[in-house]
A and B are shown apart, each in its own frame.
Chain A
Amino acid sequence: MEKTIYIFSSGELKRKGNTLYFETEENRKYIPVEDTGEIMIFGEVDINKKLLEFLSQKEILMHYFNYNGYYMGTFYPREHLNSGYMILKQSEYYMDEKKRLELARQFVIGAGKNIRQVLKYYNNRDCDLEDGLKRIEEIFTSMPEIITINQLMALEGNMREQYYKCFDTITQNQDFVFEERSRRPPRNYMNTLVSFGNTLMYTTVLSEIYKTHLDPRIGFLHATNFRRFSLNLDVAEIFKPIIIDRLIFSLIRKNMVTKKDFDKNTEGIMLKDKAKQVFVQQMDEKLKVTIKHRELGRHVSYRRLIRLELYKLAKHLIDEKKYEPFIANW
């Protein structure tokens, strides 16, 4: 499988012959290009046009994060998978209110069911989450009454609020009290972890979308606003609970991240580089974990599951098979 390259140090990334070359003051390293799927840049990295040309030719995405770990943007090579047919279909499903709602609803259902799965898991271990589970079930029962995207967004918000209330019971750690969701800037350690994790999830899904015929600018739950990517936000909803949130819980419960890993600055509370590295490393490992896919008869990684989700979406758009979100069953 192609690797994700994470760069935290400062230096120069360039093309050298037919390979990538990263040079810092102390270190120099060759990165085999055929092996590379995407590059995530957290450090101060100098690049030149020759490198961009090379990445474009090899269809490698380069994602940029600022000093605080916020997503800045992506070098998205000129599209290489072009099917006018698919773009038209995607637009058709966006423009038609009913069709759009039907898809958006599936994303919320997927998110909700995976949230439930996460809570059930901890409920069966050492946490009492019965109340939280019950509240989420209740919100879920009003799903059939939803007839507009706005109502759907509101339901999703309520559900997430109840879900976040369960976080403190799961982490059992005073340092990581959730309180409420705060972003830009995140006001406590837990929110900082959630923001960072979600950012990673969005970029990972974006990289997978790039390898399909779907257009990342046309989302269904998250309104398309013609200037930023939104389809990746939709699909990420399904995977955030089972990949990111589980990762955060395990980082805290195993003390792999502690309050010493955070900095306070004018932008709010930020993760230090070392903790960011631990996070991405754990995320990377998680994405490589495989499960047996019954229909397909192949072992697929979590990363691949994201791609399969996009294929399912494509099949929905070409009117072949109704989209049903992936639900973890453990």
Chain B
Amino acid sequence: MQNKEIHITGTLVWYYYICHREVWFMGRQIVPDQDNPNIDIGRFIGENAYSRESKKEIAVGNSRFDIIRNKEGHLVISEIKKSSKFKDSARMQLAFYLSELETLGITARGELLFPEEKRKETIVLDDKLRAHLEQARRDILRIMYLPVPPPAQKKSLCKNCAYAELCWA
């Protein structure tokens, strides 16, 4: 892979905390099985939840925000998730978006939204998160440069994963 093709995205950060193999595949635009019903469910929730918000799916650089809005003078970006099962993952994905904005000189707050659970969580970028992110960034690059994907490891996650058939075929 050529250097210029490599850029870390929020999605890769999300996958990094779930499965390194997915990072490798995603980094090469090898997408999971689109027939998997969970993919439809996720897309549906993303498209239909918070339908009163008008500004949706805003792209800034390599990031795509689900919702971006102004709350009492503060910029708030939101990420919609199907469930809080991978909360840590979601937290880091959002932290990544916040840090991308920061490099553009924009200060923002983050909000994780779990419409199915009627819950939300606020994320503020602090030094601890920044340090975690930096480490993740470096490790994601390392994974993407591997000549072959990291070996598949059977976890409970594989049960519903849309990559499972590629991994275990």
* A residues in contact (CB < 8 Å) with B: 2, 59, 81-86, 211, 213, 293, 295-298, 304, 307-309, 311-312, 314-315, 318-320
Contacts and interface: CB of A to CB of B under 8 A. Distances in A.
B35 A2 contact: yes
16 contacts: A2-B35, A81-B34, A83-B29, A85-B1, A85-B28, A211-B33, A211-B34, A295-B168, A297-B168, A308-B165, A308-B169, A309-B169, A311-B166, A314-B30, A314-B166, A318-B148
B60 interface: no
A311 B28 contact: no
Nearest to B164: A296
Interface in B21-71: 28-31, 33-35
A84 to B, nearest CB: 7
Given A318-B149, A319-B148, A296 B33 contact: no
B73 interface: no
A318 B148 CA distance: 7
B29 A296 contact: no
* Shortest beta-carbon contacts, A-B, top 10: A311-B169, A308-B169, A85-B28, A83-B29, A296-B168, A311-B166, A295-B168, A312-B169, A83-B30, A320-B148
B33 A315 contact: no
Contacts of A293: 168
Contact of A296 (B30, B31, B169): B169
A213 B32 CA distance: 10
B19 to A, nearest CB: 15
Interface of B: 1, 28-31, 33-35, 147-149, 159, 164-166, 168-169
A298 to B, nearest CB: 8
Nearest to A319: B148
Given A295-B169, A319-B147, A320-B149, A86 B30 contact: yes
B153 to A, nearest CB: 13
B29 A84 contact: yes
Nearest to A86: B30
B29 A82 contact: yes
Contacts of A213: 30-31
Contacts of B33: 211, 307
Nearest to B151: A320
Contacts of B30: 83, 85-86, 213, 314
Contacts of B165: 296, 298, 304, 307-308, 311
Contacts of A319: 147-148
Nearest to B1: A85
Nearest to A37: B35
B116 to A, nearest CB: 21
Contacts of B28: 83, 85-86
A106 to B, nearest CB: 14
Nearest to A295: B168
A81 B35 contact: no
Contacts of B168: 293, 295-297
A295 B169 CA distance: 7
A92 B147 CA distance: 15
